[in-house]
Structure 1
Amino acid sequence: MFLLEKQKEAAISRASTITKNRILDTALVHSVPVSPKASKAVLIGAFLGLLLGLAVVFARFLLHKGFHSDEGILSRYPSIPLFGKLPEYEAFQSVGDSAKIKPIVPSDPRSTYGEALRLLRGKLYLDSGAGNAGKVLMFSSAFQGDGKTTVVSQLAVALAKDGKRALLIDADLRHPQLHSAFDCKQSPGLAEYLAGNAKLEDCTRVMTRFDVPLTCLPSGQTPDSPVELIGKERFAELIDKARSEYDYVLIDTPPFPVLSDGLIIARLVDRLVSVIRVGETPRSAFKEHMQGVAEIGCPQALLINGAPTSQGGVYHYHPRSSVRLDLENRVRSFISQFQRKR
């Protein structure tokens, strides 16, 4: 009896699961995928990627604290005489707040940098020949890593290669680098001479490897109080002696007004050359530098380092480069106008 009841229940259960649906037609597969549409997705992705890239570039542009072009620098300081513009020198590498100088190699005369360097040298000749007292120059900057040491070293080599008697003095007694640039001994040098511990002829180095009349006076060992040494009468006497014995005297000095050494050195020179590096020197730091130089009252000139190649003093004579240079000029013009509005 029990089994018969279970059999009836199973029959009732099967009857209740029978579907009443009927297949009216067989489904067909579409020959073209309806979704997702690959071409549309690619276009949307490319557009969003482009917008994101432009947003990142524009954000970096707005947040960057330096000048983006040499035109922006010149428009910001139109009253300061332009001493020259130099493109980026590959042997100079800035790492964070420090700078590493490789041994100086005379620039290729046929290169963009070599041509710009000759223009810079010619400007120096014009200044000194016009009676503007351009024999003794100090090179300073607002920020460590602006390429000041590389610029003054290359200019000294260019002067010596042209037969000029040039003396290069490393007056940056805190962070000296000229001995590294010329691969020579650091001591004895300027510090030992000013302290009265060495004779001048024992402190100078003649750069015979360049086969040119270039003399270098390295910094020597870092003293406890560099300002006191620079402020000694012995330093002023050294500059007077060098003025009479050399055609040009180039002095590498610490950043100003970060350090006060420049206040003392500026009263002994004919011109202070302020080096600013495109894309690196913070605007606020350079503004403070320019204000400090104005208070000194020393004749000043502006040297732009790291200028774009097409602006470094050389014009490329090549038909294919015209479109690229035109585009670069348009971009620089836009950036310069944007900076002026800011």
Structure 2
Amino acid sequence: MNLRHVLSAIRAHWWMPLLGVLLATGSAFAITQLQTPLYTSSTQLFVSTTAATSSADAFQGGQFSQQRAASYARLAAGEELAGRVVGRLGLDLSPGAVASEITATALPGTVLIDVGVTDESPERAQAIAEAVGAEFPALVRELETPSTGGDPLVRITVTDVPEIPQSPSSPNRDQNLALGVLVGALLGALAAVARRQLDRSVKDPGEAAALAGVPVIGTVLRDHALERAHIAERTGPGRAAEDFRLLRTNLQFLSVDEPPRVIMVTSAVPSEGKTTAVVNLALALTEVGRSVIVLEADLRRPKVTRYLGMVGGVGLTNVLAGTADLDEVVQSYGDGSLSVIGAGPTPPNPGELLASAGMASLLDKLRAAYDYVLVDAPPLLPVADAVGLSVLVDGVVLSVRYGSTRKEQFRQAAVTLQRVGARTLGVVLNIVPPKAGTARARYAYGYGGDTPPA
């Protein structure tokens, strides 16, 4: 997965990083509020030698002090000194507990020791730091005084008097919240990428084309009005209407010398938008003066006549059964430029009926009478009805629903058509969210008021 795929996954699932930030920041805030505030008071000690009568002695004494400072830092944080501090202040704490509150660090290349005392009480932190400054020189003096008597070799001087801290040193609320934002965004982004990787639905046009072995010839963006009415508004340059006009144009130029005229539209599984695509493609073809007839060949769940508000009692099955003539079942829609043949009564053997010689003869008659014959066929995987029909038409258009159709299902449908020798013309990617990368690329300049939201 490259950077483009990562950014695409984050853009598609933008709410996951946002949710991660909210949860992690909220957790960091809650943890910060539950933690006991700690206060740190600091002091600084200066290590020097007591015998320096010349510059050479001073130099050697400085080196000696630096070497001693590292040892004194450990001594300052030990229990011996802590016990003296407890006795000096009368604390109700053990020497070990006090020693755990003291940190001492020898600054490299210097003779300075930084001492910090962290406690729940700012006043006690300052008192312990002050007691360290008073007791530690005495402890060093005892250790450095020669057994034979005389002055100690090293002297400790307090150079920075401890003060009562005004704000807690821990927890650091701003740092914790910033860390929460960073961790939450990172985890959310990883979750978005993982979801994209685990998502087995068809979303990318290039991937859809690779699975089907044919190009994507149309992309239809999600339109709530189209989902309700199933017929795109055609009076203006609406987004849905433009999608089907572009599909019409691509379909007309698939093969200039021998353009397909009898076209079956199907899908892998139900609810992929195939019937809506058939109806609106037919209307888009009539806009440019083409004579079009729609054949409702989904005999189990017919929807064309319902979407167009027509009578569905008689139709294709009556013609194939010989109980009605073709002229008796053809209905006109709108101004008469679009003709429709409904499904008719549901037969007991839809698959055999659609693959029959009578169906082939009917398609030949319609091919001679109309510029385009659009066949709304059943989905390929649940039933075998559309498989036999696919070899009788000039070409098949596969409808796939963005983010719903599984890759395995779509690939199986494409292979099924290849196996019987059907000609697959292309893929229509349906119900694409306006914020999807495909939609943004196509509608970068927008169509009137239908520009996808940023």
TM-score tier by shorter-chain length is 0.7 to 0.9
CA contact (8 A) 2:232 2:240 kept: no
Alignment partner of 1:27 out of 123, 130, 145: 123
Alignment partner of 2:331 out of 205, 222, 226: 205
What is the alpha-carbon distance in structure 2 between the residues aligned to residue 291 and residue 239 of structure 1?
Answer: 24
* Secondary structure of 2:367 counterpart: helix
Equivalent residue, structure 1, for 2:224: 90
Give aligned-pair identity as a percent: 28
> Do the aligned partners of residues 32 and 106 (structure 1) sit closer, same or farther apart at CA in structure 2, a change above 3 Å counting?
same
* Secondary structure of 1:274 counterpart: strand
> Do the aligned partners of residues 269 and 134 (structure 1) sit closer, same or farther apart at CA in structure 2, a change above 3 Å counting?
same
Equivalent residue, structure 2, for 1:310: 440
What is the alpha-carbon distance in structure 2 between the residues aligned to residue 241 and residue 75 of structure 1?
Answer: 35
> Do the aligned partners of residues 185 and 137 (structure 1) sit closer, same or farther apart at CA in structure 2, a change above 3 Å counting?
same
What is the alpha-carbon distance in structure 1 between the residues aligned to residue 165 and residue 297 of structure 2?
Answer: 82
* Secondary structure of 2:265 counterpart: strand
The answer to whether the aligner puts 1:60 opposite 2:186 as a matched pair is: no
Equivalent residue, structure 2, for 1:7: none
- Partner AA of 2:303 in structure 1: Q
Equivalent residue, structure 1, for 2:359: 235
Once the two structures are superposed, what CA deviation does each residue of 1:90-144 show, in whole Å capped at 9, x if it has no partner?
3465xxxxxxx6342334652333333222222333346x232411101111122
Q: Summarize the alignment of residues 124-203 of structure 1 with structure 2, pairs less than 5 Å apart.
A: 124-127=251-254, 130-203=256-329
Alignment partner of 2:398 out of 254, 265, 274: 274
Q: Summarize the alignment of residues 221-232 of structure 1 with structure 2, pairs less than 5 Å apart.
A: 221-232=345-356
Equivalent residue, structure 2, for 1:120: 247
CA contact (8 A) 2:291 2:372 kept: yes
CA contact (8 A) 1:81 1:300 kept: no
> Do the aligned partners of residues 103 and 317 (structure 1) sit closer, same or farther apart at CA in structure 2, a change above 3 Å counting?
closer
Once the two structures are superposed, what CA deviation does each residue of 1:154-205 show, in whole Å capped at 9, x if it has no partner?
1001111222111011111112221232122221222233233333333232
Alignment partner of 1:102 out of 208, 225, 229: 229
- How far residue 257 of structure 1 moved from its aligned partner, in angstroms, is 4.0
Structure 2: give runs of 5+ residues left out of the alignment: 1-88, 92-121, 125-163, 433-437, 448-452
> Do the aligned partners of residues 55 and 22 (structure 1) sit closer, same or farther apart at CA in structure 2, a change above 3 Å counting?
closer
- Partner AA of 2:293 in structure 1: L
* Secondary structure of 1:27 counterpart: helix
What is the alpha-carbon distance in structure 2 between the residues aligned to residue 315 and residue 56 of structure 1?
Answer: 28
> Do the aligned partners of residues 179 and 112 (structure 1) sit closer, same or farther apart at CA in structure 2, a change above 3 Å counting?
same
Alignment partner of 2:214 out of 80, 84, 88: 80
> Which stretch has the larger CA shift, 234-243 or 244-253?
234-243
What is the alpha-carbon distance in structure 2 between the residues aligned to residue 285 and residue 76 of structure 1?
Answer: 10
> Do the aligned partners of residues 195 and 236 (structure 1) sit closer, same or farther apart at CA in structure 2, a change above 3 Å counting?
same
Structure 1: give runs of 5+ residues left out of the alignment: 1-20, 94-100, 319-323, 326-342
Q: Summarize the alignment of residues 241-320 of structure 1 with structure 2, pairs less than 5 Å apart.
A: 241-306=365-430, 307=432, 308-312=438-442, 314-316=443-445
CA contact (8 A) 1:207 1:214 kept: yes
Looking at both structures, which has the greater relative contact order when contacts are Cα pairs under 8 Å and sequence separation is at least 6? 1
* Secondary structure of 1:272 counterpart: strand
Once the two structures are superposed, what CA deviation does each residue of 1:205-228 show, in whole Å capped at 9, x if it has no partner?
2112xx350111122232222123
Equivalent residue, structure 2, for 1:14: none
> Which stretch has the larger CA shift, 157-166 or 295-304?
295-304
Q: List, as ranges, runs of 4+ consecutive aligned residues in structure 1 with deviation greater than 4 Å.
A: none
What is the alpha-carbon distance in structure 1 between the residues aligned to residue 182 and residue 264 of structure 2?
Answer: 52
Aligned pair count reads 287
What is the alpha-carbon distance in structure 2 between the residues aligned to residue 110 and residue 310 of structure 1?
Answer: 17
What is the alpha-carbon distance in structure 2 between the residues aligned to residue 224 and residue 54 of structure 1?
Answer: 52
CA contact (8 A) 1:147 1:305 kept: no
What is the alpha-carbon distance in structure 1 between the residues aligned to residue 360 and residue 421 of structure 2?
Answer: 18
Equivalent residue, structure 1, for 2:238: 111
* Secondary structure of 1:250 counterpart: strand
- Partner AA of 1:274 in structure 2: L
> Which stretch has the larger CA shift, 52-61 or 251-260?
52-61
Q: Summarize the alignment of residues 317-332 of structure 1 with structure 2, pairs less than 5 Å apart.
A: none
Once the two structures are superposed, what CA deviation does each residue of 1:282-302 show, in whole Å capped at 9, x if it has no partner?
111111111111112222222
> Do the aligned partners of residues 311 and 203 (structure 1) sit closer, same or farther apart at CA in structure 2, a change above 3 Å counting?
farther
CA contact (8 A) 2:397 2:428 kept: no
- How far residue 242 of structure 1 moved from its aligned partner, in angstroms, is 0.8
